[in-house]
Amino acid sequence: MADGPVFEDEKDSGAGMLPGAYAHAPASVAFKKLRKRLLRQTQEAIRRFGMDAARSDGAPQKWLVCLSGGKDSYTLLAALLDLKWQGALKADLIACNLDQGQPGFPKHVLPDYLKGLGVDYRIVTEDTYSIVTDKLPETKTYCSLCSRLRRGILYRVAREESCDAIVLGHHRDDALETFMMNLFHGGRMAAMPPRLINDEGDLYVLRPLILCAENDIAKFAAAMQFPIIPCNLCGSQEGLQREAMKQMLDEWERRRPGRREVMFRALQNVRLSHLADEKVWDFAGLERNEE
């Protein structure tokens, strides 16, 4: 893979690159810079974390790109299609949306959008909404159970489609919020890994946007005029721990611009010897030089 995205003509606007995905993209210099930054960061994550390695038989991987209808997953698909168009991504892509049965969910939006792009896709309907709302009272947050149910279904679909990986739209800020939640509420130091293997050992979970800032993604999605579908399941609940972490990070960023970037660099610069987990560092076995 090349070190950075390859653009045939620096004078081309986004609208001339991918007619489907970029149909409503502005031709401004600011948008071109934003697009390049997101593509550069996405490609860097794919390269650094070995996401696009070929199968053992030399064939390209097949990725199930998971779409929720939110800004992050739309941006993920657009970035991957863009890199694929440039020849900078070898993996084959199939888009997938899980219709979870929420009341009022606009079932036509994503199929219409994906047909317009001309990409392979699959829409899966599973009523996880009823399961979550039946098992949990409104005073409890739905995210954990909803996520587990959704992930299990996506694993099944990935196997049915002979995919090597499911690909998610989590970004830098999601990783930081998860780290803070684990630190304050979980009693452990953990965030969102860019690449992992599921418990069964047969699928990768990939996060190509892990180096991208949420603010950039929001600007990109607005400029691209994606048909955003709001989440009316967990998104409608108040008092979510993740939202509290987001507000805390927002306040730190307001007081000290660049704080998020510094914190994310820390996740990539771990010193096990300076923590206190004897399972990953042999403190008892340390021996000084007595000579």
pLDDT tens for each residue of 67-124: 989 999 999 999 999 999 999 999 999 999 988 767 778 889 999 999 999 999 999 9
Whether residue 186 has pLDDT greater than 80: yes
The residue type at 53 = A
Cα-based distances in Å from 194 to 1, 50, 191, 258:
18, 10, 10, 21
Report pTM. 0.86
Mean pLDDT, rounded, for 185-207: 95
Q: How does residue 13 score in pLDDT terms, banded at 50, 70 and 90?
A: very low
Mean pLDDT, rounded, for 6-35: 68
Residue 9 pLDDT: 39
Q: How does residue 238 score in pLDDT terms, banded at 50, 70 and 90?
A: very low
Q: Does 3.40.50.620 match the CATH number of domain 14-269?
A: yes
| Beta bridge mates, 125 | 99
- Of 262, 231, 204, the closest CA to residue 99 belongs to 231
Q: What angle do CA 134, 137, 143 make, to 5 degrees?
A: 85
- Of 91, 6, 78, the closest CA to residue 46 belongs to 91
Q: What is the number of other CB atoms lying within 10 angstroms of the CB of residue 7?
A: 14
Whether residue 239 has pLDDT greater than 60: no
Residues 6+ apart with CB under 8 A from 190: 178, 179, 182
Mean pLDDT, rounded, for 264-282: 95
Percent of the chain with pLDDT over 70: 83
Domain boundaries in the chain? Answer: 14-269
Q: Is 9 left (phi over 0), alpha (psi -120 to 50) or beta?
A: beta
Mean model confidence pLDDT for the chain: 86
